A and B are shown apart, each in its own frame.
Chain A
Amino acid sequence: MEPLNPDKLEQRMHAALRALPDRRAPASLAARVQAEIERRAAIPWWHKSYAYWPQWARGTFLAGAGTFVMALLVFVTVSFAGGLDTSRPAGPLASWIEFARRAYGVGVWIGDLVSLIAGSVSPLWLYGGLAAVVAMYLSLFGLGATAYRFLWARR
């Protein structure tokens, strides 16, 4: 009996594997596909992704989005060009602009507060806190890796 060299093993294995017949699909597969097709068909188009929307909905969405972007561009351009007095906006946009201004003011105030606190805390505490967070993260990561290797990978 001679040892089987790699080339001969490849040929033998190829012949043996190619001789295998197809495996029979589970009887439940066709029913599963049918059920999923029915489930998807029952979903209204507005709950599906854009690719599944009907033509008229896609057209309407594109037209609406285009109009909105154009209006926004015109508004920003006119505002920065000084052609519109945004300090006293009129019409339905007034309340929105006022809300945006207040939100911006709150954001700036929070930013100032954070920078003030960060400036008043000593670097030792900041770096110590950061090191503690990193140490806790690494401990949990190591614990997870160890648990995986002993409880899962060896099954």
Chain B
Amino acid sequence: MNEDNPVQATAAGTKTPVDFTTFMRNYQDMVYTTAVRLLGNETQAEDIAQEVFLKAYERWDSLSESATVGGWLKTVTTNLSINHLQRYRKRWRFFSEITQGGDEAGEDSQPVEFAAPDDFLDRIHQSDRRAWLERALEKLPDHQRVPLVLFHFEDLSYDEIARRLGVSLSKVKTDMMRGREALAKVLAQSGASHEEFES
């Protein structure tokens, strides 16, 4: 038996350390949230979260006493999620993007003029705004949602996002601008009619 494995086999079966169970309970929402916002898919996010905690379990000896375990979890979740998306994207990009080409072509285009009223967020400040935002974010295409999440939630700069995703800086800026515009439009519409967003 592997001595490095913290699993203790008993007559009743295998048990995980109580500390790890508590640790998982404390961080599972953060890990899942990071994954689901990057992936835009709850099932895949649960798979990634499972993989993250299994990695944490393998390194439990060092992680259990680490003060930066939250950062480690977030980094691993982000990396696994982006790797997952890029693997999937490489598999299908030829079919899905061969005739689109709009992203690269849009690199040199002028900044998008957003024509929504200045107070569009304030008007829907109450009630369901958070749920609408989450759902609108989830509905964005990967190339807009991922840089937005990395910028607004993970505090990465534009340069870091471009390097991490392997795309040009101008493409990152264009995609993020379009993503914000799409979010704002959805929110503006949602503010007028919840049902309209649902359809």
Chain A residues, Cβ within 8 Å of B24? 30, 33
Chain A interface size, as a band, is 35 or more
Instruction: Tell me if B121 counts as interface (CB < 8 A to partner A).
Output: yes
Chain A proximity mask over B116-131: 1 for CB below 8 Å, otherwise 0 = 1111110000000110
Asked whether A6 and B112 contact (CB < 8 A) given A23-B134, A29-B49, A36-B54, the answer is yes
Minimal Cβ-Cβ distance residue in A for B176: A10
Question: Which of A105-113, A114-122, A145-153 is the contact stretch?
Answer: A145-153
- Cα A75 to Cα B46 in complex, Å, equals 55
Does B94 contact A28, Cβ atoms closer than 8 Å? no
The 5 closest A-B pairs by CB, nearest first: A25-B32, A1-B117, A25-B28, A41-B7, A148-B95
Is the Cβ of B36 less than 8 Å from the Cβ of A145? no
Q: Is the CB of A26 within 8 A of B14?
A: no
Asked if residues A30 and B29 are in contact (CB atoms below 8 Å), the reply is no
Taken together as a complex, chains A and B put the C-alpha atoms of A34 and B14 apart, in Å, by 9
What 1/0 flags go to B88-124 for Cβ under 8 Å of A?
A: 0000101110100000000000011111111111000
Does B153 count as interface, using CB distance less than 8 angstroms?
A: yes
Q: Is there contact, CB below 8 Å, between B114 and A5? A: yes
Majority SS at the chain A contact face:
helix
A9 x B180 contact (CB < 8 A):
yes
Task: Point out residues on B near A: beta carbons under 8 Å.
Answer: 1-3, 5, 7, 9, 13-14, 16, 21, 24-25, 28-33, 36-37, 42, 46, 49-50, 53-54, 57, 92, 94-96, 98, 111-121, 129-130, 133-134, 137, 148, 152-153, 177, 180-181, 183-184, 187
Contact at A41–B152, with CB atoms within 8 Å? no
CB contacts (< 8 Å) of B121 on chain A: these are: 12, 16
A48 contacts across to B, CB distance below 8 A: 2
Tell me if B14 and A37 are in contact (CB < 8 A). yes
**What residues of chain B lie closer than 8 Å to A22, measured between beta carbons?**
29-30, 32-33
Which residues of A have CB within 8 Å of B181? 9
Q: Which residues of B contact A145 (CB under 8 A)?
A: 94-95, 98
Could you tell me the dominant secondary structure of chain B's interface residues?
helix
Which residues of the other chain, B, contact A23 by a CB distance below 8 angstroms?
A: 29, 32-33, 36-37, 134
| Cβ A21 vs Cβ B113 within 8 A | no
Tell me whether A30 and B21 are in contact (CB under 8 A). Answer: yes
- A1, A32, A53, A148: which contacts B92 (Cβ < 8 A)? A148
| Chain A residues, CB < 8 A from B98 | 145
Q: A13-B152, A37-B57 are in contact. Are A45 and B1 (CB under 8 A)?
A: yes
| Option from A10, A25, A42, A144 in Cβ contact (under 8 Å) with B14 | A42
Judge whether A153 and B96 touch: CB under 8 Å: yes
How far does the alpha carbon of A50 sit from the alpha carbon of B56 in the complex, in Å? 19
Whether A26 pairs with B46 at a CB distance below 8 angstroms is yes
With an 8 A cutoff between CB atoms, is A4 at the interface? yes
**B contact residues around A100 at 8 Å (CB):** none
Asked if A32 and B50 make an inter-chain contact with CB atoms under 8 angstroms apart, the answer reads yes
Q: Is the CB of A3 within 8 A of B113?
A: yes
Contact with B along A31-47 (1 / 0, CB 8 A): 01110111011100100
